[in-house]
Structure 1
Amino acid sequence: MIEVEVKAKINSFKEMEERLEKVGATKSKHEFQEDIYFQSPIVDFAKTDEALRVRTTNNDIFITYKGPKIDQQSKTRKEVEMSIESAEKAKDIFEEIGFREARTVRKNRQYYTFENFEISLDDVEGLSPYMEIEIALDDGEDYSKAQDKIFELFEKLGITEGFERTSYMELLEKI
């Protein structure tokens, strides 16, 4: 799967919730997420722009691999994810084979759906408010059209600046 994602800093959640409602977006779920990111013993993920994490939410636990970004405007990249039963066991396995914990990112995320977009308002511990808009594509689909549609939706929501290609982990590292 290819994930086409664009993130932007926003002024306030309340203002953005009103704008999302105005365009017809539907609130779908709210969840707390804890992401434990790992560094590889073989590859420097900071240099290759990859990520490996264990995400724990209210109801689920996932291992996610995110490949290097494939364009200069967004966070478009290959993503592979699978459900697991225990974050602690996954962490133990990773550490036993040489991976080390790099950072934990915690956030409250309010999801919205609009057409084929997944929109999230992200309250990340230690950061200002952010909004992400993404579309998931099958491998081989043209991501540039999806990317254009994401930027059109941002513009429709009144956001034309504040876009960010770095991950929340990277933003927190800069503080």
Structure 2
Amino acid sequence: MTLVEIERKRALDTRSAELLLARLGELGFTATRPAREVDTYYSRPDVDFMETVECLRVRQGPVRCEITYKPASDQSTHSADGTIAKQETNVALADPDQGGPAHQFLGALGMVLLAEVDKSRVSYRHPDDAELAVVVDTVAGLGTFVETEVLSSRSHTQALAQLTETERLLGLQDCPVVCQPYRDLVMENSVRGSTGNHSAARGGP
């Protein structure tokens, strides 16, 4: 049985984040403890994963470390409504201290470091639906986001219907959809910061 994760990410301001947390409690979702996760993204030297929208990532958290690969994007994986549906390949490592060897391993294979995303994550689950997750991320330098995720073997249409209904129940319809991954947002933010610093050094606007 092949499981496919379909997800949609939205940006939250302070007020919408407060309303979301209240609504999650009202609907019976339970939260995990906030956990810091550091995601380090890589690309192949001969293929630009920024262009293909592939993901090769080492995730280090307080209790686990894993390597994840997500395949290239096309019209079947990214839809006009901002949802993403991809099959993930995850390799769980023995313990969270295996992050260093994981980076060494990818470096030895010639993989190219792209970006590091440092975030605090809280996951919310509902006792009646193991396939559904609502994840609130506070990403260093970017802000706060919510990802509604459905991991299912059902059809894309069925999973999307569940995701959309969950967003409606949580009052997220008016929050801006974010189609780019955190990796890309962090890299763009870094470029803007670098450009601003150069302008300031030249005395420019």
- Mark yes or no: TM-score above 0.5: yes
Instruction: State the Cα deviation string for residues 108-156 of structure 1 (Å, max 9, x = none).
Output: 0011002231111101101121001111124xx4122112211221122
Q: Which residue of 2 aligns with 1:71?
A: 78
The separation in 2 between residues aligned to 1:2 and 1:29, in whole angstroms, is 26
> Whose helix proportion is higher, 1 or 2?
2
CA RMSD of aligned residues (A): 1.5
Pick aligned residue for 2:173 from 147, 160, 163: 160
Amino acid at match of 1:153: T
State the TM-score, normalized to the length of structure 2. 0.79
**SS state of the match for residue 18, structure 2?**
helix
Q: Which residue of 1 aligns with 2:53?
A: 49
What fraction of aligned residue pairs are identical, expressed as a percent? 24
Q: Which residue of 2 aligns with 1:83?
A: 92
- In structure 1, the gaps of 5 or more residues are none
Asked if 1:131 is matched to 2:146, the reply is yes
Aligned residue pairs, count: 173
Q: Which runs of 4+ in 1 moved over 4 A?
A: none
- In structure 2, the gaps of 5 or more residues are 190-205
State the TM-score, normalized to the length of structure 1. 0.92
The separation in 1 between residues aligned to 2:115 and 2:146, in whole angstroms, is 21
Amino acid at match of 1:66: K
Name which of structure 1's ranges 42-51 and 101-110 shifts more when overlaid on structure 2. 42-51
**SS state of the match for residue 19, structure 2?**
helix
Pick aligned residue for 2:132 from 117, 122, 126: 117
Name which of structure 1's ranges 117-126 and 148-157 shifts more when overlaid on structure 2. 148-157
Q: Which residue of 1 aligns with 2:192?
A: none
Alignment of 1:99-118 (within 5 A): 99-114=111-126, 115=129, 116-118=131-133
Compare relative contact order (CA 8 Å, sep 6+) and give the higher one, 1 or 2.
1
Q: Which residue of 2 aligns with 1:148?
A: 161
The separation in 2 between residues aligned to 1:88 and 1:99, in whole angstroms, is 15
